[in-house]
Structure formats: C-alpha cells, structure tokens
Structure 1
Amino acid sequence: MQRVTNCIVIDQDHILLLKKPSRGWYAIPGGKMEQGETIKESAIREYWEETALTPNNPTLAGVFTFSIYHQEELENEWMMFTFITDSYQGQLTEHCDEGELEWVPIKQLHQLPMAEGDHKIFEHILTSKATVFGAFSYTNEFQLIDYRIN
C-alpha cells in the first residue's frame, strides 16, 4: 500500500492548491512518503518540494484510504495523511513541475474541478477541529463509487 502526505496551508481565507495538467483538477500539494520518514516530515518535505514554502507546525487533520477498482477488482490502494496549518515561511516558487500553483479563496473550493472525494475531505476538515478519518472507493477513471467519513 502506497503512503502519501499532503498539507493544507491557509492564508487570509485562501488555500494554496495545485492544478494538475492531466485532468485540470485541483489538488492539495503533497506526494509519496520516503523510506524512514515520519508522516509529518513527509508532508513538510513534499509541500516544500512543490511550492518552496515550508509549513510551520502542521497538525494532522485527516487520514484516508483510497481503493481504485477496475470492473470490481482492486487495482490500487493507498493511504493519505492530510495536515493543516495557517503558518508557513518562504516565498512561493514561480514554477512547479507538478502543475500550476494557485491561492484559491476557501469560499470557491466547492466550484473547482477536483476528485469528488476531495470536495468531501475539504468540507469535513475545514469545519471540524477533530481529526477526520475516511475511506473512498473509485473506478480507475476516478469516478467515486462509495465513501465513508467519520
């Protein structure tokens, strides 16, 4: 099972998102954990690699499992650890190899193209102080089949 981390950085009611070129969907900056890293170290490193910003003291906001199915057969599975902070240091990079970086008003998140489950993750993380746990099932074309959040 692949492990990935990401971090939601909030600044003046905006969140820095990455618009991926493959689908034009927005995503939280992050990526794969490296051997021996803690999930927090991974989230900070991945965020810095994509944005040149270093999140300050991010806290764990959500833990999610994702299962990808092709004709009812499990094709891929990964865990995602999502952190959140409203403090960072550094200057935003002008170029990101992963896509376009954009500060998006929180009020507009629901209008952006992204994986359907990501909308649900934002909805819960941004309205709860407790750590959110969830499981999402998708087709290999990234159509949401089912989800649970608690």
Structure 2
Amino acid sequence: MARRDYEDDPQAPKANSLVPAASAVVVDDDGRVLLQRRTDNGMWALPGGKMELGESIGDCAVRETFEETGITVEITGIVGTYTAPGHVFAYDDGEVRQEFSICLTARPIGGSLRVSDESFEVAWFAPDAVDGLPMVSSIRKRISDWRAGHGPVVR
C-alpha cells in the first residue's frame, strides 16, 4: 500500500486515525545503524510500525525490527516520542494517520539481514553515511535526536 508523508503542509489531508507505533535505532558493536528501504515510499527508514493489542511498545519495536529486517534486538533505551499533529501519513486506502510514535534504541542479539514485504533493501550504515540517503524528514529527526544524545526528546 502506497504512503505519502506530510509534515506541516497546509495541503495535507485531515487525519482520520491515530495509531500507536514504535521505531528503533538499532546500533551494532561497530556503531553502525540498521536501516531499511521501504516498499511503500522507496525511502530509507528505521525499522518500525504500529503496535498491536497485547504487546508493549518495546515488544512492538522488537517484533517490527525482526519482521522488516531479520534482526533480533534487545531494547536499550529511548530516543523520544513523536506526536506532532501536523505530521500525517496518507495511505491509498483513505486512511490518514496522525503521527504517534515512540522511538527506542536497541542492540542486535541475533538473526541475519533479509528483506520483507515492507522492505526491499536492508543494510547497516555508519552514522555519517546516513546523511546522504533519501529519507523522510521525520525519520531524519529521530536519527539526529539519537546522534545528539540529549536523552528522551518529546516532539
């Protein structure tokens, strides 16, 4: 399903749903960051997705990371919360979702890189190599917040 991100855009459609979600900044022992290239918008992103009934936000980040990248992770901390009402995702089925995401930090503990139906490329990147990748601004914010190391950010 195609997705378009709008951030503080007066032409954005009005949100009609709010769904808790998690993403993870997964960092390996070499300091590299795990990213996936999404099938819905072609952009590089952190692994993540919507929370399901019966799971915690940490469980969500662990599950989504494994589903999208093949890597099993352990949660180690929090980057921040991202709930800007001016940031919406419009899907081709008519859903327009307001951002509500908790970004966590994690370390890999197993698995091997693989793509999924949500990702067509998965790779580890040195943090400075991320700057030149095609990426929506909200994901870039999360990575910048992690790199700045200011502790939990609330946006």
* Range class of TM-score, shorter chain: 0.7 to 0.9
Establish whether residue 119 from structure 1 lines up as the match of residue 137 from structure 2: no
Deviation at 1:82, TM superposition (A): 0.7
SS in structure 1 of the partner of residue 103 of structure 2 = strand
The residue identity in structure 1 corresponding to 2:142 is I
8 Å CA contact retained: 1:25, 1:114? yes
Distance 2:26 2:113 in 1: 15
SS in structure 2 of the partner of residue 126 of structure 1 = helix
Distance 1:56 1:23 in 2: 27
Q: Which residue of 2 aligns with 1:79?
A: 100
Q: Which residue of 1 aligns with 2:19?
A: 2
8 Å CA contact retained: 1:40, 1:58? no
Report the aligned-residue RMSD: 2.0
SS in structure 2 of the partner of residue 119 of structure 1 = helix
Deviation at 1:122, TM superposition (A): 1.3
SS in structure 2 of the partner of residue 54 of structure 1 = strand
The residue identity in structure 1 corresponding to 2:78 is L
1:17-74 alpha-carbon deviations (Å, 9 max, x no partner): 011134321010111100121111111111111222221233121110143289xxxx
SS in structure 1 of the partner of residue 115 of structure 2 = coil
Q: Among 25, 32, 49, which residue is 1:14 paired with?
A: 32
The residue identity in structure 1 corresponding to 2:23 is N
More strand per residue: 1 or 2? 1
TM-score, normalised on structure 2?
0.74
Deviation at 1:124, TM superposition (A): 1.6
Establish whether residue 33 from structure 1 lines up as the match of residue 33 from structure 2: no
Q: Among 96, 109, 114, which residue is 2:116 paired with?
A: 96
| Equivalenced residues, count | 129
Distance 1:59 1:120 in 2: 17
Distance 1:124 1:93 in 2: 25
SS in structure 1 of the partner of residue 134 of structure 2 = coil
Listed as ranges, the gaps of 5+ residues in structure 2 are: 1-17, 91-95
Which structure exhibits the higher relative contact order, with contacts defined as CA atoms closer than 8 Å and separated by 6 or more residues?
2
TM-score, normalised on structure 1?
0.76
8 Å CA contact retained: 2:79, 2:145? no
Q: Which residue of 1 aligns with 2:41?
A: 23
Listed as ranges, the gaps of 5+ residues in structure 1 are: 135-150
